[in-house]
Amino acid sequence: RATLRDAGILVAQLFVRAMRKYEALHKGMAARGFGESMQVLSFHTHARSRRYEWESIAGCMLLVLLEWWTGGWR
């Protein structure tokens, strides 16, 4: 019984704290000129360049060959 009461108090305090943070955030955004709605930029994926992929592969291979040539793998 006490555990249920303590959990209820904890949830109520968490809700009050979250609402206070929301209210502070809302006031701060309103002070900076934001309106009721926010426009979010659309999400699009980034296309990798084939040139950069080949350059990175060639660079890694060059580093491996230099490591082998200098005797780093003994």
In a domain, 60, yes or no: no
| Structure token digits, residue 71 | 């005797």
In a domain, 70, yes or no: no
Q: State the DSSP code for 2.
A: H
Q: Quick check: 51 and 45 in contact, CB under 8 A?
A: no
Alpha-carbon distance of 22 to 20, in angstroms, equals: 5
Contacts of 22 (CB under 8 A, 6+ apart): none
For 13-39, write each residue's pLDDT tens digit.
999 999 999 999 988 888 888 777 767
pLDDT score of 44 more than 90: no
What is the residue range of 25's domain? 1-34
Question: Rounded to an integer, what is the distance from CA 14 to the centroid of its chain?
Answer: 24
pTM over 0.95: no
pLDDT score of 73 more than 70: no
In a domain, 71, yes or no: no
Quote the number of domains for the chain.
1
